Amino acid sequence: MTPQEKKLWSATIKNLGISIFLYAALLGILWLDEIFVPQLKGLLLHFDDPAWIVGIPASIIGVAYILTIRNPINYTGFYAGVVMSALLGIQFLLQGMGDSPVRYYDSVALYFCVFIPFQLKSIINWKKPQENASDNGRFEPSFLSMKGMILSLLVFALIVGADYLVGTYLLPKSQEALNERFWVKFISGLMIASSVLANFWLIYRKNDSWIYWIIYSVSGVLLFTILNNIFSIVLFMFFLFINAMAGISWIKSTPKENYGWLRGK
């Protein structure tokens, strides 16, 4: 392992420690809320739910993943991303077993068949010598071109539409009540589309990926507000802050000539 690789891995381990601390603080606050506000008892923490338990390390590793790839040369963060995706896939599988065995198969397939391959591809791409690195060797992120941005938005709309059709016509009868709720289906589609494109554009170090991550986080807050899941609302607000912080970090590293569609190019 080279000194540079040791430095990158050290940063990832440090970010994991920060994530553990932040998540412990969050769980501690929610635990105190349940103690001092009896009406919240059982609404915030679900230690009797195996899927929820798996979601804890998934969330911790996920935050470490985002904190690490704030540095657009630190590919080691994607190893954490692979572990996070595997845990989230298992979480959704457990949720499906606890409710309808079919309900979450799409999410399980998404994490194992789309996100993990995307993250592995990111590791390969980020480890390559960068042709458009700056004179000091630091890789500089960029925005999509105008054409790329428009094509990305079209793909985004197609995924949202496809997810809506699947939710309306292909989900099992046990999900009929959910299927009748337009906003649940629509916002769920926004989450899936934004997460797919966010993971894809990270492969190529495009700032646009953080725009999609922010859409994902806001959609999560809206969805779980509709579903009255207080814990998930708090969690996605936390993700929104982390993703926005990472996006700002990347934009600061982006020279004006790499602003792509923001410059009309």
| Among candidate residues 93, 128, 163, the one where a domain is terminated | 128
| Among candidate residues 128, 154, 183, the one where a domain is terminated | 128
CA–CA distance, 212 with 195 (Å, rounded to integer): 7
Residues 157 and 123 in one domain: no
Residue 197, CA distances (Å) to 85, 157, 191 in order: 15, 11, 10
Judge residue 172's burial from the number of C-beta atoms within 10 Å of its C-beta, 0-12 exposed, 13-18 middle, 19 or more buried.
exposed
Residues 112 and 39 in one domain: yes
For 224-245, the pLDDT digits (tens) are 888 887 888 888 998 999 999 9
Residues 58 and 123 in one domain: yes
Boundaries of domain holding 52: 1-128
Question: Phi/psi at 55 (nearest 5 deg)?
Answer: -65, -20
For 8-33, the pLDDT digits (tens) are 999 999 999 999 999 999 899 989 98
Q: Are 62 and 92 in contact (CB under 8 A)?
A: no
pLDDT for residue 259: 92
pLDDT for residue 180: 57
Residues 106 and 226 in one domain: no
Residues 150 and 100 in one domain: no
In a domain, 135, yes or no: no
CA–CA distance, 23 with 13 (Å, rounded to integer): 15
pLDDT for residue 93: 84
pLDDT by 10-residue block (mean), the chain, 265 residues: 91 96 91 86 83 91 94 93 93 69 67 94 85 53 94 96 81 50 84 94 95 95 85 87 93 90 82
Q: What is the pTM of this model?
A: 0.87
Residues 116 and 234 in one domain: no
Residues 38 and 110 in one domain: yes
At residue 47, the 3 state secondary structure works out as coil
Residues 123 and 14 in one domain: yes
* Residue that is written with structure tokens 């789309």 in the block: 114
**DSSP for residue 145:** P
Residues 145 and 116 in one domain: no
Residues 115 and 207 in one domain: no
In a domain, 133, yes or no: no
Residues 6 and 114 in one domain: yes
